[in-house]
Structure 1
Amino acid sequence: MTTPEQELPFIRNLASSDKRLRIQALTSLQTFLTAQRALDRLTALKLWKGLFFALWMCDKPIPQQNLCAELADLYTSLPAAKKRNKNGTAAGGGGDGVVPTWFGAAWEVLANHWTEIDVLRMDKFLLLTRRIFAAHLRWVRDGEWDEARQASVIDVLKAGPFESEGDVARVPLGLRLHVLDIWVDEMERVGMLGSDDAASEKGEGEGEGDAVAVEFADRMRRQVIEPLTSCIAKPVRKSAAEQLEDERLPWVRRKKAGDGDGDAVEEEEEWGGIED
């Protein structure tokens, strides 16, 4: 019976204390991923476990930041991650299901090992989490907001850090709260929140691309974040409720703009003018 190391010989070197071997292993992994038009969950888990410990062994802030970006971007090596052809299929062949499997394995490995991370290593794993979440959004954006990609990402998040039903203890509380904290930041970064001018606040002046992006943000709100306001974990309920009131969110901006207009009308009605 073959072992994971025999099937994928570079896995062990991903966690090597030798930086040179780690770099070589990462290059081998990228090459491996470019040929994967199908990827099963167990293989993805083995690879992400190796990547988790590659970051574990990485020292110094700048190399750690660079490695977090590289690990989060590995999905772009998968054929299904390419931009879509005119006929709607993923460029390079392969089904889009490969990328969600890859993302899902990342969350599963992070959840399995989160409580093992010591305080000296936590910052780099918080950054990796941020980069991975952003990668989900970029994959949808680069697919021109394809409906199947939107649904896949929502399903991955609902099965991972944003799970609101079932065994919610499966994902550690710290990981859940961190992803909630960065949710709006990363949506803003990839352009999902529309323009911040007055016209956009009133639902006008947005281009077609902006409108589709904002629709996806609203879908995330309804299907992913709002269910968390009923989570059995009180800190998750509280954080989710707070995030839904972030002033950068387009529906919050519109609400505030509407409230402002109402105040102006009320003041105008109360003004009786100067009597002679």
Structure 2
Amino acid sequence: MAEDAQSSPFMKHLASSDKDTRDSALASLRAFLSSRSEISELDLLKLWKGLFYCLWMQDKPAQQQALSRSLASLPSSLKPPVVLPFLRAFWATIAREWTNIEALRLDKYLYLIRQYVNASFRYLSQNGWGNAEGLQRHGEIMAEFPLNAQDTKIPNGLRFHVLDVWVDELEKVDGEWGVEKREVLEALCGPVEALAKEGRLKVVRNAAKETLGDGRLRVWRGQEEEGEKGDAEMEDDDEEWGGIED
């Protein structure tokens, strides 16, 4: 598979400006991946390096987004033992390549990351969020790469973007978080909580705290009632400038 990941025609065709060619290549890739019950870590990393540069070569914004959505649909077609290793290879690749992304190309990778945050939640939500082992492993992957609290090699820009989209994408997948799913939600929040407490930089810790302070998340976690203002928001209101006093 290592050679296939770099030289197979569908890798080159995924970057085509022709939609039919791109769709055919994606179908070939999907069939190729879905037929396998196990793929080595090395092969997945080589595959994702190829996919990363397929998106790199895609110029038009509409086609960039279409390709990102197509790539984010891949986990749904994989056999269960392959999904989490596939997601880990994605995050490892993004973390490794982040500093090489030029400013003009950054938006398309930010969009791809958002799509993969969503795709990860969608995978975990299958069967009513009932896969405890999957939740734990997913949390370990997030803590290892995009939400890593200590490793200085993980780009802060990646941390900030994942934190920025985290609640939005969780809400898109499941906006109903009653008491019966509280344990699942706490497991999902674990890496963010760890980053808020153990992040090496104050600005990173504050960003994680801001995510945890999102009113939607606080309501889901039972920390406040819907419509109630959180402490941080109340403090902001208190600090608003009220004009010049006489």
Same fold (TM over 0.5): yes
Q: CA deviation at 1:176?
A: 1.0
Q: CA deviation at 1:156?
A: 1.3
Alignment match of 2:172 (pick from 154, 171, 189): 189
SS in 2 for 1:249: helix
Segments of 4+ in structure 1 off by > 3 A?
Answer: 5-8, 14-25, 250-260
Deviation readout 1:185-225 (Å, 9 max, x if unpaired): 1111111553xxxxxxxxxxx4xxx732x43222222x211
Deviation readout 1:67-112 (Å, 9 max, x if unpaired): 11110111122122xxxxxxxxxxxxxx3xx211000000111111
Alignment match of 1:219 (pick from 172, 187, 196): 187
Counterpart code for 2:199: C
Return the TM-score normalized by structure 2.
0.81
Superposed, 1:4-23 pairs within 5 Å as 4-5=3-4, 9-10=8-9, 13=12, 19=18, 23=23
Go from structure 1 to structure 2 and tell me whether the alpha carbon gap of 1:143 and 1:257 turns closer, same or farther (over 3 Å shift).
closer
Contact 1:192–1:217 (Cα < 8 Å) also in 2: no
Contact 1:130–1:182 (Cα < 8 Å) also in 2: yes
Could you tell me which residue of structure 1 aligns to residue 235 of structure 2?
none
Go from structure 1 to structure 2 and tell me whether the alpha carbon gap of 1:14 and 1:153 turns closer, same or farther (over 3 Å shift).
farther
Counterpart code for 1:115: T
Contact 1:15–1:53 (Cα < 8 Å) also in 2: no
Tell me how large the CA RMSD over aligned residues is: 2.7
Q: CA deviation at 1:40?
A: 1.1
Counterpart code for 1:148: E
Contact 1:48–1:105 (Cα < 8 Å) also in 2: yes
In the alignment, structure 1 residue 77 sits paired with structure 2 residue 77: yes
Gaps spanning 5+ residues in structure 1: where? 81-94, 195-205, 261-276
- The answer to which of 8-17 and 30-39 deviates more is 8-17
Distance 1:186 1:35 in 2: 29
How many correspondences in the alignment?
225
Contact 2:95–2:155 (Cα < 8 Å) also in 1: yes
Distance 1:224 1:39 in 2: 26
Contact 1:157–1:163 (Cα < 8 Å) also in 2: yes
Return the TM-score normalized by structure 1.
0.73
Deviation readout 1:32-91 (Å, 9 max, x if unpaired): 1011101111111111111111111112222111111110111122122xxxxxxxxxxx
